[in-house]
A = this chain, B = another copy of it.
């Protein structure tokens, strides 16, 4: 019951394996192979359910039909949702996904890129951590299709898909201002990544434009949630005068909500809230939390479209393209007028 190879097929039909290969790869006409031979081969192949060994195929052709997907953390709902959608689109186009979580760890990411490379993935989809510029550049220099998403690397010219972070936080901060809040803090992860910087800048711009004072608290990321909640808690306890808080990511937002619950703060009377990213936790909180919703499907679609495009047209002459998508701002009870 062992799997049969192209040679077995060839022997059984008294035809050379070359011919079989040509037929199976749709090059029968081009190679002027007799019509009835083609039919005979196709019939038999379908009958026994023969499938070419993809490893051998990849070895010879250099293509693996695998896409490497690197997210920050697959257990984060945002990345999980993106991954899910990308997976679907990829499978529909005959590509499989190998994925992994970078943890925003530069050296881990380097290892993973090497792994992917070693596995001869055909293309890369990456939410890049800081400090990975050279590795990405080297991938691109070697002609590998690479699409970044969620953030980009300022000094590397690649295709990337992002959202309009700056406008999103600017807009949402302005909303708080219009609702009458005066002491608005921005709590986020300490990071130099483009999306984080843009979100912070959007907040600062809005605060400045409103003649208010910016209050920014940066948290060092850690796997252990206690180490995120701790600093948030002490920050909130120290700044009693705050009347609103803007969380820079869904993870910070979730931890923030836990802290707020622990401290027994009333939302929005004690503290109004907005978070970046939107998901069930925010919708179901009491009161529901206003949030900036990323267009997850559009992001996934754009990413896969750009990548498939690069994969199919081996045209090097297309300069890199960047796609910036709009977000939705879902206003809910947590940011009611004062």
Contacts and interface: CB of A to CB of B under 8 A. Distances in A.
A101 interface: yes
A54 interface: yes
Nearest to A100: B87
A120 B59 CA distance: 14
A270 to B, nearest CB: 15
Looking at A55, A99, A101, A258, the one whose CB has the most chain B CB atoms below 10 A away is: A55
A64 interface: yes
Contact of A261 (B1, B54, B77, B284): B284
Contacts of A142: 1
A73 interface: yes
Contact of A100 (B97, B115, B257, B261): B97
Interface string A54-94: 11101100001010000001111100110110011001000
Contact of A55 (B59, B77, B114, B284): B59
A281 interface: yes
A109 to B, nearest CB: 12
A84 B101 contact: yes
Interface string A275-308: 0000011011110000000000000000000000
A97 B142 CA distance: 25
Contacts of A96: 98, 100, 115, 119
Nearest to A58: B55
Contacts of A73: 84
Contact of A284 (B83, B87, B114, B257): B257
Nearest to A59: B55
A257 to B, nearest CB: 5
Given A254-B280, A281-B284, 14 more contacts: A51-B118, A53-B59, A53-B118, A55-B120, A74-B80, A75-B77, A75-B81, A75-B83, A77-B77, A84-B101, A88-B101, A96-B100, A97-B100, A281-B281
Interface of A: 1, 51, 53-56, 58-59, 64, 66, 73-77, 80-81, 83-84, 87-88, 91, 96-101, 114-115, 118-120, 142, 254, 257-258, 261, 280-281, 283-286
13 contacts: A51-B114, A51-B118, A53-B120, A66-B98, A74-B87, A75-B77, A75-B84, A77-B77, A96-B98, A96-B100, A96-B115, A97-B100, A99-B99
